[in-house]
Amino acid sequence: MNRNCASLLLLALALLPGCKGRSVLLPARQAPAPVVVKVQRASASGGDGAAGYVGTVESRHTAAIVAPAAGTLVSLPVREGMRVEKGRVLARIESQSVTSACEAAASRLAQAEDAWKRIQIVRESGTVTEVEYIKVKTLLDEARAADAAARDMKDRCTVRAPFSGVVDKVSLSEGVSTFPAEQILRLVDVRSLEIRFPLPENEFPAHVTGEELRIEIPALGTSATGVLSVKGSTASPLSHSYTCSVSLKGQVPGLMPGMVCKLYLPEHGTERIIVPSSAVMTDMDGRYVWTATDGVVDKRRVTVGGYSGNGIIISEGLDAADLVIIEGGRKVSTGMQVQTQY
């Protein structure tokens, strides 16, 4: 056993001179590339600026056109997007129950009128009491009212436009059965448009009805002027904002319900720091943002002072010169080296 160990030792000593002067090169570790993040300088908005909000065009007059009675929709001569004038026939419904009611009412009216004629003749002879006379007269009045109501219901089975507008949505098709109060279509008045938008509760007291504002309509590539006409009275429990309405000053060709607009209200008050909502994060200790100073990440605790049309208002924790990470914040940590992009 000792002889084997000695042989191995001699072999190792013999190989050492051959390795003299040689060095083993190990591959060098490459430093990881810095994470790329998108940053934005914290913006300061003050009293002479204009706060931006997003609103939606809506019609003041919208009507759900419903079936007046159970029956069959035999005619529907309109389609979605069609402009119709007031009084235009929108649908026709055939209802056996309405037809039967009309026939029954007409029959009762004929009987009541015949009884009235007879009692008029008999009354002249003095053989009819005043009570009987009034009873027949009452039956006649009731029969006339019932006949008028039945004929009115039959007329309503020919559904007409209550005002001029555009057919917004058709819910039924010809040949289907209808039920009372079932929606056939929806009609909107495109000549009475307004813009509704949410106004944050912290900005609500600063604005009054009658304020003039600028409106941008991206879908039409144009702008317009409006007036703050209505301020909501109840805030949303989720967003803590009030729904307000803007009336347009003049007509805007091509404007339709559902279009998105950008509204600019004059700002009032002191300077505020506003950052995009994507930059503000929350952990167990509260809210914070990531900042990048000379490419090094720092975690800043912030106090949120409310919401603006441009983003989230930061009341404490940031200065206007800070670079705030708005994209890539989930991939960074304090002290990390990053590559910033605007």
Mean pLDDT of the chain: 85
| Average pLDDT value for residue range 185-206 | 90
pLDDT at 291 over 70: yes
Residue 182 φ/ψ, nearest 5 degrees: -80, 135
Over residues 56-109, the pLDDT tens digits come to 999 998 999 999 999 999 999 999 999 999 999 999 999 999 999 999 999 999
User: What is the largest distance, in Å, between two alpha-carbon atoms of the chain?
Assistant: 161
Q: pTM of the prediction?
A: 0.58
Residue 12 φ/ψ, nearest 5 degrees: -65, -40
pLDDT band, residue 251 (cuts 50/70/90) = confident
Contacts of residue 289, defined as CB under 8 A and 6 or more positions apart, other chains included, come to 275, 279, 280, 281, 299, 300, 302, 314, 317, 318, 324, 325, 329
The closest of 173, 154, 160 to 95, measured between CA atoms, is 154
pLDDT at 3 over 60: no
pLDDT band, residue 35 (cuts 50/70/90) = confident
Please tell me the predicted confidence (pLDDT) of residue 120.
86
